[in-house]
């Protein structure tokens, strides 16, 4: 990922046209959403939902990207206009908070799994082929009834994106200030970066939703959930410690 970013950022060096600046900013935004911390947070958000709600997975990805973009614009534009950069301590605190959020999302997934919200049924419909799928018997509900399972709200997805945006604002504004002298162009690049991040998160979240909602992952989610939760928790701890400089975080 760093090599791709370095190559794209290198294209901004020297005298380049407005069109090139905006195109590269859009590409950087599209690539930015695939950072491991972003993927870890969004994956655990999606995994806590019902398996068949692919459309909602895309919506949550969009809201995450919208929250990320909101922070980038609200923080980035004043910094660009004032020719300032975000204080390092603020960026560091935000990065630690991101790691903690990933840990909390992972814990939530594990708690829901432990309470039986991803219970497996093996049965056949109308005498057809026997199959297994994930179903909830939480709160004493039967197989034939709808399940009242509390789900991740759109507002919380937006809030997770807001915190992620704070962490990304420091590096982005530093890049814009060091490569783009014209403030109007820098603000345009900032807006396109935010838009690119939102679009790519919709695509990635929808793809994850399709994987989780169907096929072997959906049929065995009772086994996948604890593995995903533990790995996400470990990554969140690693990310937070990396932000504090206690471990190496290479991404």
Res 24: pLDDT: 76
Q: Which residue has the tokens 């197989």?
A: 143
Structure tokens at 25: 């900013």
Res 235: pLDDT: 93
Domain ranges of the chain: 38-120+132-140+150-243
Q: What is the mean pLDDT of residues 39-52?
A: 68
Nearby residues of 78 by Cβ (< 8 Å), 6 or more positions away: 84
pLDDT at 147 > cutoff 50: no
Q: Which of 9, 18, 10, 32 is nearest to 186 (CA)?
A: 18
Q: What is the mean pLDDT of residues 74-87?
A: 84
Res 119: pLDDT: 56
Res 133: pLDDT: 52
**Cβ-defined contacts of 140-149 (< 8 Å, 24+):** 149/50, 149/112, 149/117
- DSSP, collapsed to helix, strand or coil, labels residue 209 as helix
Q: What percent of the chain has pLDDT over 90?
A: 9
Q: Say how far apart CA 149 and CA 113 lie, in whole Å.
A: 12
pLDDT tier, 191 (very low <50, low <70, confident <90, very high otherwise): confident
């Amino acid at each position: 990922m760093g090599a791709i970013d370095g190559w794209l950022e290198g294209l901004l060096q020297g005298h380049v046209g407005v069109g090139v600046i905006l195109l590269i900013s859009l590409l950087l935004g599209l690539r930015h959403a695939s950072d491991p911390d972003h993927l870890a947070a969004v994956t655990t958000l999606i995994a806590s939902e019902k398996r068949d709600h692919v459309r909602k997975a895309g919506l949550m990805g969009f809201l995450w990207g919208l929250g990320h973009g909101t922070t980038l614009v609200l923080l980035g534009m004043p910094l660009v206009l004032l020719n300032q950069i975000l204080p390092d301590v603020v960026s560091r605190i935000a990065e630690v908070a991101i790691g903690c959020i990933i840990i909390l999302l992972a814990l939530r997934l594990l708690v829901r799994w432990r309470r039986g919200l991803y219970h497996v049924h093996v049965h056949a419909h109308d005498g057809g082929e026997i199959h297994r799928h994930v179903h909830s018997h939480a709160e004493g509900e039967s197989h034939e009834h709808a399940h009242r399972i509390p789900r991740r709200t759109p507002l919380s997805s937006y809030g997770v994106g807001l915190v992620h945006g704070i962490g990304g604002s420091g590096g982005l504004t530093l890049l814009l200030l060091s490569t783009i002298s014209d403030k109007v162009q820098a603000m345009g690049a900032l807006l396109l970066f935010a838009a690119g991040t939102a679009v790519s998160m919709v695509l990635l979240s929808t793809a994850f939703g399709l994987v989780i909602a169907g096929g072997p992952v959906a049929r065995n989610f009772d086994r996948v959930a604890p593995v995903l939760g533990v790995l996400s928790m470990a990554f969140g701890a690693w990310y937070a410690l990396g932000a504090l400089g206690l471990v190496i975080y290479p991404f």
